[in-house]
Structure 1
Amino acid sequence: MRLGPGLLVTAAFIGPGTITSASIAGANFGFALLWTLLFSVIATILLQSMAARLGVVTGQDLAQALRTHIQHPLFKPLAAFLVISAIGIGSAAYEAGNLSGATMGLIEIFPQVATQVWTPLIAVFSALLLYSGKHKVVESALIFLVILMSLVFISTLLMAAPPITQLLAGFIPSIPEGSATTVLALVGTTIVPYNLFLHSGILAAKHDKHTDQRKVIKQTNLDTGISITLGGVITLAILSTASVAFYGSEVGKISAANMAMQLEPLLGNAAHYFFAIGLFAAGLTSAITAPLAGAYAVCGMLGWSNDMNNSRFKLVATAILVFGTAVASLGLDPINVIIFAQAANGLLLPIVTTYLVWLVNQKSVMGDFTNSIKVNMLILPVLLLIFGLSSYKLISLIL
């Protein structure tokens, strides 16, 4: 079997934000929040599999399906506004952080090169891939980078050698005092709404009504399960390594920026390069996928083509890339912009997941490929927790 679309989703959610969130979780709470990561991976596999199945069966991405099947005069424009504003602008906001993360990694590797050089170069490379208009070219580049990330962070985990008993204990649910925000961050960096548009869009672009859909869905589910699990292992490696290095020590505020330096006593001089390369790969993969996801969402809701060769699709993707490049190149702190994206994510995630579950349960949409009762029983607690976490996140941001 050939891995592909699922790895693009992994490339999208393993970004600088994931590295930072997992580092902070491990440094501040040890292995106690590993259960949160396990929940997030299972929930992501379920949701992304549904989005992929929608694309395979209907030949439409999630945005196109919403536009086609929401007919209520109030809900249709509301859905369009939420998707275009929150997903489109949210993707652009995260793009600034992605480019900044990739730049940070290169600065650590090549300190003698002027910092202002890297962000435009990364943006140009991302634009060339996007403008190629070829899924295989983009997939191949991202698969290489995901493999690179995997080697970097899993090797680091093996070098750190965390105690197995402590790792296993972390999968028992608990919420240590002061960990609620970190729990939200771990969930939020894994279950990302724009990835549902990205995954369904990639599969919709490959739609062929003459193929055996049941066979394609089976292959897609396997691809999704393996790819998302790999992303979970990468995140587990980052969290565990941070736990071994920092938990219980007086190291101050932990972030991806100072993690390599702090790990030198543990991993030696190699730590500097290990994390710099991993951070660069994580930033670059997300920098390529965020414009793609935003373009699928915006174009789908506006009724435009979702073909990567289409000029409007390229225009939307480029606008997202240019916005992120401008913020990252000006040396501005992207935190305030990302806070807005988190607020949009908190508002949109429960709405998008509810619409997705509704769509894949409609016989008129999915035919014989609607959700089974078992899948609906599994997804119900996921939806309830997503609503609860999103409500908490929005309230905390407002207050």
Structure 2
Amino acid sequence: MPKTLSLRSGIGSVLFWSVISAAFIGPGTVTTCAMAGSTFDLQLLWALTFSTFGTILLQEAAARLTLASGLSLGEVIARSYGEKARWISGLLFGAVALGCAAYQAGNILGAVSGLTLLTGAPGSILTVAVGAVCILLLWQGSTRLIANFLGLVVFVMGVAFAYVALNSGQSAGAFGAALITPSLPPNSMVLVIGLIGTTIVPYNLFLGSGIGRDQSLGEMRWGIGLAVLIGGLISMTILVAGTLITGDFSFQTVAQTLSARLGTWAGALFAFGLFAAGFTSALTAPLAAAVTAQSLLGWSPTSTPYRLVWLVVMGLGLTFGLLGVRPVPVIIAAQAANGLLLPIVTVFLFQAVNNKQLLDERYRNSRWQNVAMLLVVGVTAFLGLRNVWLALSA
């Protein structure tokens, strides 16, 4: 008999799956969404609608695969290609780990930027403090503890940005129309790609399929659907808040503009949101790299290699954070790697959730799920090639 979904288990599932929202709402998301609002008002809001539902679709498929087969996405890939599995797994892990390490510096710097705006304390001290708290939480080894903690932080961050957005003066009618009306104003393509690419993140598919083994199908669908939807709404409120910003874009300018337009509380709430976005992503990037290693390479969460993975990712982020250096060459390489990785992982996932030998009919994709996933595969393939082109051009 199917397990009944109670209110308590439903809320717990939403908190647990908020780890996915925490992973894609980082300083990059705050920057991209705020710049989109500042430059194009509400015209690019539709891109967040598409990417939010695309993320729900792909994350649900990855988690459903694990619930049905007992195998994570990485384990399915590793077992499906015989002699080729070892180098395929190694390449996928290398690409994911490179991306996580490259963006970890930005996560920590974003968190420190928010704290600096709030407190005025020296950046080096704040960097060490953020890193120490992240290491302490990750060392506990419990993904459920981390996920629930991140869920609470994401919720508070959402309230902060929503409060700013509600005071931006945008009408509900204009907001609703922009949600569903595709628009490509001149010179907007890069930001559209950024809005979609910052939400549909390839390593989140490994992270989601690697941590969600102990839930019912109903709990998983409810948790992922609502958690990602909340994350998408937070991104949308950041874009709406960005419509208040004029002039050159920087975190300090954003805080000053919001304070001047709405009061000092708005600047402080933005600073807290920036800190929360950076801090939650600074936790999830190392965790995603380690879970991907567990999934693709079979390393246990209590093993030394597993902990070394997240320690190296965290250490690289802290090093660049303390030096105040932007690791541009590494980030460009990571963009190219993730640009190729996203459509490839999506194709692997599409094949797995249609595998009759692996899944019974209840867990395989329906016709509409296949159509929707093929649409996302097409868009992500375009994004991947576009990201590679941008990275090579840079």
Q: Which runs of 5+ in 2 are unaligned?
A: 1-9
Partner of 1:118: 126
Taking the TM superposition and a 5 Å limit, the aligned residue runs for 1:276-315 are 276-305=271-300, 307=301, 309-315=302-308
Q: Distance in 2 between matches of 1:32 and 1:270?
A: 27
Whole-angstrom CA distance in 1 between matches of 2:145 and 2:281 = 16
Q: CA deviation at 1:61?
A: 2.0
Alignment equivalent of 1:53, drawn from 37, 48, 64: 64
Q: Given the alignment of the two structures, is residue 152 of structure 1 paired with residue 160 of structure 2, yes or no?
A: yes
Asked if 1:342 is matched to 2:335, the reply is yes
RMSD: 1.6
Q: Equivalent residue for 1:351? A: 344
Contact 2:101 2:285 survives alignment (8 Å): yes
Contact 1:23 1:255 in 2 (8 A): no
Task: Report the Cα offset of residue 336 of structure 1.
Answer: 4.1
- Whether 1:382 aligns to 2:339 is no
Per the alignment, in what secondary structure is the counterpart of residue 362 of structure 1? coil
- 1:335 offset after TM fit, Å? 4.3
Mean alpha-carbon deviation: is it higher for 288-297 or for 331-340?
331-340
**2:23 match:** 12
Is the partner of 1:332 in helix, strand or coil?
coil
Contact (CA 8 Å) 2:255, 2:270: kept in 1 or not?
yes
**Equivalents in 2 of 1:364, 1:383: separation in Å?**
23
Partner residue in 1 for 2:234: 234
Partners of 2:157 and 2:191 lie apart in 1 by 23
Structure 2 CA distance for aligned equivalents of residues 61 and 286 of structure 1: 22
Shift of 1:143: 1.5
Q: So what's the TM-score if we normalise by structure 2?
A: 0.92
Partner of 2:261: 266
Which of 25, 31, 40 is 2:36 aligned to?
25
User: How far off its partner does 1:198 sit?
Assistant: 0.7
Amino acid at match of 1:166: A
* Aligned-pair CA distance for 1:59: 2.4
1:96 and 2:105 are equivalent in the alignment? yes
CA contact (8 A) 1:62 1:297 kept: no
| Cα distance in 1 for residues equivalent to 2:145 and 2:293 | 23
Partner amino acid for 2:275? F
Residues 61, 353 of structure 2: 8 Å contact kept: yes
Aligned residue-pair number = 380
Post-superposition offset of 1:78: 4.5
Alignment-derived partner of residue 4 in structure 2: none
The separation in 1 between residues aligned to 2:233 and 2:329, in whole angstroms, is: 29
When structure 1 is superposed on structure 2, of 312-321 and 159-168 the one drifting more is: 159-168
Q: Structure 1: 5+ residue runs without aligned partners?
A: 208-215
Residue matched to 2:135: 127
Question: Is the counterpart of residue 109 in structure 1 residue 109 in structure 2?
Answer: no
Alpha carbons 2:16, 2:148 under 8 Å: kept? no
Counterpart in the other structure of 1:174: 183
CA contact (8 A) 1:24 1:255 kept: no
Q: Which residue of 2 aligns with 1:184?
A: 193
Residues 367-394 of structure 1, C-alpha deviations (whole Å, 9 max, x = no match): 3311111210111111111111211221
Residue by residue over 1:123-165, the C-alpha shift from the partner in whole angstroms, topping out at 9 and shown as x without a partner, is 1111111110123321232122111111111111112131223
Question: Are the aligned partners of 1:295 and 1:316 in contact in 2 as well (CA < 8 Å)?
Answer: yes
Quote the sequence identity (%).
36
In structure 1, give the amino acid aligned to 2:78.
Answer: R
1:273 counterpart letter in structure 2:
A
Report the Cα offset of residue 77 of structure 1.
4.2
The residue type equivalent to 2:126 in the other structure is W
The CA distance in 2 between the partners of 1:255 and 1:361, in whole Å, is: 45
Is residue 391 from structure 1 mapped to residue 385 from structure 2 by the alignment? yes
Query: Is the CA contact 1:19–1:256 (under 8 Å) kept in the aligned structure 2?
Result: no
